[in-house]
Structure 1
Amino acid sequence: MIPYSAPINDTRFVLRDLGLLGQLEALPGCEEVNAELVDAILEEAGKLAGDVIAPTNYNGDKQGARWNDGKVTVPDGFKDAYRAYVEGGWNSIPFTPDFGGQGLPWTIATAVQEMWQSANMAWALCPLLNQGAVEALTAHASDAIRNTYLAKMISGEWSGTMNLTEPQAGSDLSLVRSKAEPDGDHYRIKGQKIFITYGEHEMTDNIVHLVLARLPDAPEGTRGISLFVVPKYLVGDDGSIGDHNDLRCVSIEHKLGIMGSPTCVMSFGDKEGAIGYLVGEPNRGLEYMFTMMNNARLAVGLQGLSLTERAYQQARDFAKERKQGKGLDPAEGTVAIIKHPDVRRMLMTMRAYAEAQRALVLETMTMLDISHRHEEENYRKWAGRRVDLLTPVIKGWFTDTAVEMTSMGVQVHGGMGFIEETGAAQHYRDARILPIYEGTNGIQAADLVGRKILRDKGAALDEYLDEVHAFINRLNGMDGETISILRKYVAQGVDALEQAGDWLVENASSDRVAQATASTYLLKLFGLVAGGVVMARACIAAENKLVNGEGDADFYRNKLITARFYAENLLSQAPSLLGPITQGHNTVMAIAEDQL
């Protein structure tokens, strides 16, 4: 077994020392949230992740999900791990108590979900998709649908899926052709859907498919798409499971990674039509599905962090044991490779990204909780704008980075990393899907530039930048070498981000090539800067602990070192992205297609 140890101390540091827990405790409905409760949750989640889920990861990759005549069998151990997860009540953490949820903040749920994804991402995709389906039904479904499905989905006894695209559609959902014919109090769904994660499996008693389809009189394009609940097994008025619905898994995909997760081709209505129930109003399905997609995009970003952390832990442990080459002191002889500066550079890069992204995603989820719970509307709206702005950054930057960091983990292993038996290559292969699904990162970058920056002429970005400038001004009055270094590089980074935003608003609003070319660079720039801001906050918190003589001094000194490494080695690259943002469009389309 390749071990995994949940980063409980690092997570506790972000929640407590960066002040997120205090913000949560002040929100309505969070009266029972406190440090002791959160500590207990983190400790028990860490045990489940490390002792029960993580041991299934390597075998799940080797064995894979298997399809036979419409039935899917998950790898050995998956079902037992899922049963332990459900019995522990872990699936219900963030959901409404009205249907059996615990009603805890999404911030706390995200902290433990990082552990599930690190332990076995292929396994954890099942609860990930289910949580998005629960969110969509809670927000948009009728009382009848909620009463029928939510309690079982919140407990985890049933799982949910997202059925969006089709063979001819890809990312362009305007091309969806699945049909929904009215039939009394329900609809008959016919069509085929592809890339359906956990569309068929035996870990839960029922699978609740959320399916996009068109009504007979629907307009063309995305405005004519409706959303339907289509269960694998029909559900009686008393909640009992009935007949198998007219749907089946035609096949599962053979993939580069996440082998244990069945990626299904689903066929609806081979016979009389699968019975489905309309969610909300007709022709608003894509709008409703964005509730699920935004939830999933944040969760996929979290997966990027999770794989970076898992790859870091494995590379670090390997580097401590693998002896090769002479040390810096010739008298040492052959040394463990962790003593070589270039290996340290790679390990510190992985560590720094993981710490910055953990802080950023938990801070963003705190904003999400504020947007849902705060008593004052102005605070809710402000927090909502911040979550909207950062969602594509978290999805795009975290997952692009995960591919780089898991590749770096292979590099630390050297030739042994290229051999499957060490398990390092699995993290790299698993990570490669992250920039692709739930909207490719090119789509995330276009969303950031087009919808989150240019649509309001940069107002949401300016609001963020104003807050960062105020934070930098507060840093000016603080002592400490590391804080001074963070202040320098955060200021340079935020200046570059501000210049990039101003350039976009002034020059690219009507230039689609300039927008499209700048978007990916700008997303990376935003990520680097946002990561630098939270690392500066971490630096202040650690410095205060050291000055006051509180806690583990070595732990807090390491926080300062990692923050400084992030500033000098990673954040320092941010201003270099301003050139591609403002000039890259000049040549990106210049060569004729037939000359490429």
Structure 2
Amino acid sequence: MPAYRAPKRDIDFVLKELLNSEEHFAGLENAGDMNVELMDAILDSGAKFAEEVVAPLNQVGDEEGCQFDDGKVTTPTGYKEAFHQYAANGWQGLSVPESDGGLGLPGSVGLTLTEMIGSASWAWSMYSGLAGAPISCLVNGGTEEQKQRFLPKLLTGEWAGAMCLTEAHCGSDVGMLRTKAVKNSDGSYTLTGTKIFISGGEQDITDNIVHAILARVEGAPEGNKGISLFIAPKFNVNDDGSLGEFNHITAGNIEKKMGLKGNATCVMNYDGAQAFLLGEENRGLDVMFKLMNTARIGTAVQGLAGAEAAFQGALTYANERLQMRSLTGTKNPDGPADPIIVHPDVRRMLMTQKAFTEGSRALCYWLAQLVDVTKFGSDEAKVKEAEDILGLLTPVAKGFCTETGVEVTNLGMQVFGGHGYIQEHGMEQIVRDTRISTVYEGTTGIQALDLIGRKVMGSGGELLRVFTKKIHKFCAGHVDSENMVPFTEVLSGLNKQWGEITMHVGGKAMEDAEEVGSASVDFLMFSGYVTFAYLWAQMADVAQQKIAEGNDDGFYKAKLATAEFYFKRLLPRAQAHAIGAQAGADTVMQLNADEFAF
């Protein structure tokens, strides 16, 4: 099993040299006493926790899995103890406002913890991550009484949580949900219905589980307009905070999954459970969307986390595994063969892993800083720009970072050759655990429709223009930098092409609405390659400046070499997606449903 080590050097580079966290924190208001020193202390302790406590549970969780017996779930060995150690560190409330009992720190710091702990074991990390769902719902839509009743023990980790959206018949189309809420005379509601795919819906880690549930109040309109959001605990909570009676919330089963076996994915039954409305009736999605946007960035981090774990395992193996001799002469004369890292195709795989992993880190961390600005920024213009860029790039990050993350994990298995297919080496587990990331929080296709339909076409192209102007400004600012021309010329051309593709698809969509759906995934992937190119050009700029100053740290040489690899070997893929996006709806729509098979 690969031994996880937090990539602190690259994390430091992104946070301090690329994104200038010191300046970022200085521009925030009411975000606690956040500074780079405090950030370092949090990340150092988080790295140690990820490496020493969580990572050893990764293979244990996969091998043992969760056990189900008559509605009760038993989690793998060590999960409970690690959860309570995590909570004892105060991380559950890291980004929760101080007024609600949290530390009130910027969410960008918490996202970095999410990456490290998730790379160590995403299955374990989901229990702490999902506790954040009811916390967020309460903070954004709860009354003071509801917050006082539920938040304290959620923040201490005495209780955990679950997010309950999906039903068997409707999947991502939550407007079709059937879970019913009936209002009681005391103002509470009684819930009846069944949810599926509820991660952490039942477990033996905490004394209580607080469910955030979408349901339809009796008599409410059909579709999304009639959806309300509720809080319902597994055990009712007395006025003094102690646990009361069982609340008729039971697990009917746990799913047998491809991966993430250490996390219980439950079928949950609500058989007359007492629940409490968050916000207003029929306005549940207003509160939910505040959570969902953050959750989509969090799922992008799942792609990053899997990629980092796979890259570390592949790199270690490539340096140790002896097989064949280098074509340019023996590199390991004392051994029977050379390490496979000398072979160009192994280098191609490792460089691809490195480029996508570090690009994902830069994008996810940048978006997390933009979320900070929307919450704590005082400059209205900067807040508006942050909101616009987040609107455009959140679906890009979720779709692109998970799709490339799956590619990176498969490359990790490939570097191991036949050994990668064997369970004991851990690489096939990383593939299995990461694969669901392209489905969570809306599939790649759904993210693509959101991007091109709602964000680009729906804004009349304005959200795209905000970002392409930013890219244009960066390129124009480096016209006199000879070393940057190989990056900025290519990036500038792609930036212009992005707008041209948008105009082409938009024009055809005026005649046939299917053009948008046909182009969507290729459009998202093109957008992802261009966005990574913008970030890699910036990283190359930083590295070049350090090298020009005489800094001989090999890290900067590696960063620059990876940027060059990305532009020359990976970015050309964007053109295939450009062609696909403009190929026309008839290429996918001309067959009738009964003509696919005969």
User: Given the two structures, how large is their TM-score scaled by the length of structure 2?
Assistant: 0.96
Cα-Cα RMSD: 1.5
Q: Which of residues 460, 463, 467 is equivalent to 2:466?
A: 463
Shift of residue 485 of structure 1?
2.0
Q: Which of residues 250, 269, 273 is equivalent to 1:267?
A: 269
1:213 aligns with 2:215: yes
**Aligned partner of residue 591 in structure 2, secondary structure:** coil
Aligned partner of 2:362 in structure 1 is: 359
Listed as ranges, the matches of 1:37-48 within 5 Å are 37-48=38-49
Listed as ranges, the matches of 1:223-242 within 5 Å are 223-242=225-244
Aligned-pair identity (%): 39
Listed as ranges, the matches of 1:123-522 within 5 Å are 123-183=124-184, 184-269=186-271, 273-332=272-331, 334-480=337-483, 483-509=484-510, 511-522=512-523
Deviation digits for residues 532-586 of structure 1 (CA, Å, limit 9, x no counterpart): 1111111111222222235x62111111111111111112222332111111423
Distance 1:523 1:502 in 2: 15
Deviation digits for residues 22-75 of structure 1 (CA, Å, limit 9, x no counterpart): 122221124632222222222111100011000000111111011111111111
Distance 2:145 2:511 in 1: 46
Distance 1:149 1:275 in 2: 14
- Amino acid of the residue matched to residue 233 of structure 2? P
- Amino acid of the residue matched to residue 567 of structure 2? A
The number of residue pairs the alignment matches comes to 590
Deviation digits for residues 235-258 of structure 1 (CA, Å, limit 9, x no counterpart): 111212212211101100001000
Distance 1:81 1:331 in 2: 47
Distance 2:561 2:457 in 1: 37
Q: 1:192 to 1:510 in 2, by over 3 A?
A: farther
Shift of residue 424 of structure 1?
0.4
Shift of residue 504 of structure 1?
2.9
Q: Which moved more, 1:238-247 or 1:49-58?
A: 238-247
Distance 1:532 1:156 in 2: 40
**Aligned partner of residue 56 in structure 2, secondary structure:** helix
Distance 1:155 1:515 in 2: 46
Q: 1:181 to 1:117 in 2, by over 3 A?
A: same
Q: Which moved more, 1:303-312 or 1:469-478?
A: 469-478
**Aligned partner of residue 363 in structure 1, secondary structure:** helix
Deviation digits for residues 492-544 of structure 1 (CA, Å, limit 9, x no counterpart): 32222222222233332553211001110111111111111111111111222
Q: Which moved more, 1:501-510 or 1:425-434?
A: 501-510
Gaps in structure 1 of 5+ consecutive residues: none
**Aligned partner of residue 200 in structure 1, secondary structure:** coil
Aligned partner of 2:572 in structure 1 is: 572
Q: 1:196 to 1:53 in 2, by over 3 A?
A: same
Q: 1:20 to 1:139 in 2, by over 3 A?
A: farther
- Is the contact between residue 388 and residue 466 of structure 2 (CA under 8 Å) also seen in structure 1? no
Distance 1:43 1:479 in 2: 38
Q: 1:300 to 1:510 in 2, by over 3 A?
A: farther
- Is the contact between residue 83 and residue 128 of structure 2 (CA under 8 Å) also seen in structure 1? no
Distance 2:472 2:330 in 1: 50
- Amino acid of the residue matched to residue 284 of structure 2? G
1:555 aligns with 2:555: yes
Distance 2:416 2:64 in 1: 23
Distance 1:244 1:313 in 2: 45
**Aligned partner of residue 193 in structure 1, secondary structure:** strand
Shift of residue 319 of structure 1?
1.0
- Is the contact between residue 32 and residue 103 of structure 2 (CA under 8 Å) also seen in structure 1? no
Distance 2:174 2:132 in 1: 22
Distance 2:586 2:307 in 1: 35
- Amino acid of the residue matched to residue 576 of structure 1? A
Deviation digits for residues 439-498 of structure 1 (CA, Å, limit 9, x no counterpart): 111111111111101111111101111110111111212232xx2322233223222222
- Is the contact between residue 24 and residue 366 of structure 1 (CA under 8 Å) also seen in structure 2? no
**Aligned partner of residue 323 in structure 1, secondary structure:** coil
- Is the contact between residue 233 and residue 247 of structure 2 (CA under 8 Å) also seen in structure 1? yes
- Is the contact between residue 312 and residue 347 of structure 1 (CA under 8 Å) also seen in structure 2? yes
Deviation digits for residues 292-351 of structure 1 (CA, Å, limit 9, x no counterpart): 222211101111001001000001111111111221234446211111110010011001
Deviation digits for residues 140-166 of structure 1 (CA, Å, limit 9, x no counterpart): 121211121122223332222111121
Distance 2:501 2:398 in 1: 20
- Is the contact between residue 101 and residue 154 of structure 1 (CA under 8 Å) also seen in structure 2? yes
Q: 1:132 to 1:511 in 2, by over 3 A?
A: farther
Distance 1:133 1:247 in 2: 16
Deviation digits for residues 403-434 of structure 1 (CA, Å, limit 9, x no counterpart): 11111111111111111111100011111111
- Amino acid of the residue matched to residue 375 of structure 1? S
**Aligned partner of residue 366 in structure 2, secondary structure:** helix
- Amino acid of the residue matched to residue 474 of structure 2? F
Distance 2:162 2:31 in 1: 29
Shift of residue 95 of structure 1?
1.2
Distance 1:228 1:20 in 2: 40
Distance 2:183 2:258 in 1: 40
Q: 1:505 to 1:154 in 2, by over 3 A?
A: farther
Q: Which moved more, 1:254-263 or 1:137-146?
A: 137-146
**Aligned partner of residue 583 in structure 1, secondary structure:** coil
Distance 1:180 1:576 in 2: 49
Listed as ranges, the matches of 1:21-60 within 5 Å are 21=21, 22-30=23-31, 32-60=33-61
Q: Which moved more, 1:35-44 or 1:464-473?
A: 35-44
- Is the contact between residue 413 and residue 420 of structure 2 (CA under 8 Å) also seen in structure 1? yes
**Aligned partner of residue 326 in structure 1, secondary structure:** coil
- Is the contact between residue 2 and residue 55 of structure 1 (CA under 8 Å) also seen in structure 2? no
Listed as ranges, the matches of 1:98-113 within 5 Å are 98-113=99-114
- Amino acid of the residue matched to residue 573 of structure 2? Q
Shift of residue 13 of structure 1?
0.6
**Aligned partner of residue 274 in structure 1, secondary structure:** strand
Q: 1:507 to 1:6 in 2, by over 3 A?
A: same
- Is the contact between residue 389 and residue 448 of structure 1 (CA under 8 Å) also seen in structure 2? yes
- Is the contact between residue 132 and residue 293 of structure 1 (CA under 8 Å) also seen in structure 2? no
Gaps in structure 2 of 5+ consecutive residues: none
- Is the contact between residue 486 and residue 567 of structure 1 (CA under 8 Å) also seen in structure 2? yes
- Amino acid of the residue matched to residue 13 of structure 2? F
Distance 1:24 1:274 in 2: 43
**Aligned partner of residue 573 in structure 2, secondary structure:** helix
Distance 2:353 2:20 in 1: 24
